[in-house]
């Protein structure tokens, strides 16, 4: 079966063509993502499934009618972009997780991650609306600083980046207030 006939069959709703496409590249894709990017097996399989769905949607919507490259090349290109996008989202979430995990209970034992998440969520609610919106757009909606600047009407990206930084500083203080140092010991 040629690459363009596969696309045509999928466009016509032939499920067997889509199943064959899925099966024929899965193992190699998962190994490639693990070897090239250090992805876990679970991440690799999830990314592959997202990649197949993206390709399927492109075919069904008529965005992809013919290929100049191989189907494998096209799939791997989509997969690479999906994985890198996933990684960018994970790194944004990590910053909030670091704040949460820096909390300790009074007996210096780390609290459960779920408790920390709840605590951070409550503290975010204590921030002003502007900070809540920036953090929501950046960490949860995963918008870039440029997109946030445009959406919220900031003068430029630097202004939005500075505002996000200030909001994170406020959140850090709310989450783990500094313990005042005793200047005199009597």
Q: How far is CA 18 from CA 23, 50, 81, in A?
A: 9, 14, 21
Predicted pLDDT at 167: 87
Q: Are residues 71 and 127 in the same domain?
A: no
CATH of the domain at 151: 1.10.10
Task: Kindly report the number of other CB atoms within 10 A of residue 133's CB atom.
Answer: 17
Q: How far is CA 52 from CA 15, 25, 79, 125, in A?
A: 13, 10, 9, 38
**Which pair of structure tokens corresponds to residue 102?**
């820096």
Sign of CA dihedral 86, 89, 94, 100: negative
Residue 97 within any structural domain of the chain: no
d(CA 142, CA 82): 14
Predicted pLDDT at 26: 94
Q: Phi/psi of residue 12, each to 5°? A: -80, 0
CATH of the domain at 52: 1.10.1740.10
Residue found under tokens 């989509």: 78
Q: Are residues 9 and 79 in the same domain?
A: yes
Q: What is the pTM of this model?
A: 0.50
Domain that holds residue 61: 3-89
Q: In a structure prediction context, what are the per-residue pLDDT tens digits for the chain, which is 186 residues long?
A: 566 688 888 888 888 988 998 999 999 999 999 998 888 898 899 999 989 988 888 888 888 888 788 888 889 999 988 888 877 666 555 556 555 555 443 344 445 555 666 677 778 788 888 888 888 888 777 788 899 999 999 999 899 999 988 988 888 788 765 444 444 444
Residue 182 within any structural domain of the chain: no
Residue 120 within any structural domain of the chain: yes
Total of domains in the chain: 2
d(CA 184, CA 77): 63
DSSP letter, residue 177: P
Residue 157 within any structural domain of the chain: yes
């Amino acid at each position: 079966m040629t690459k363009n006939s596969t696309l045509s069959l999928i466009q016509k709703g032939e499920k067997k063509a889509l199943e064959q496409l899925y099966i024929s590249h899965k193992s190699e894709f998962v190994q490639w993502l693990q070897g090239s990017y250090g992805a876990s097996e679970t991440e690799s399989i999830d990314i592959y499934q997202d990649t197949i769905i993206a390709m399927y949607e492109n075919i069904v919507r008529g965005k992809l009618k013919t290929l100049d490259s191989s189907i494998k090349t096209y799939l791997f290109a989509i997969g690479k972009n999906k994985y890198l996008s996933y990684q960018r989202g994970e790194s944004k979430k990590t910053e909030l997780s670091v704040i949460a995990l820096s909390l300790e209970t009074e007996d210096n034992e780390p609290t459960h991650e779920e408790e920390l998440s709840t605590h951070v969520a409550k503290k975010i609610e204590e921030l002003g609306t502007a900070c809540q919106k920036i953090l929501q757009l950046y960490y949860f909606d995963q918008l870039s600083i440029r997109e946030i600047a445009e959406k919220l009407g900031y003068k430029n990206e630097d202004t939005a980046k500075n505002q996000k930084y200030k909001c994170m500083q406020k959140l850090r203080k709310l989450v783990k207030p500094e313990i005042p140092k005793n200047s005199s010991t009597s």
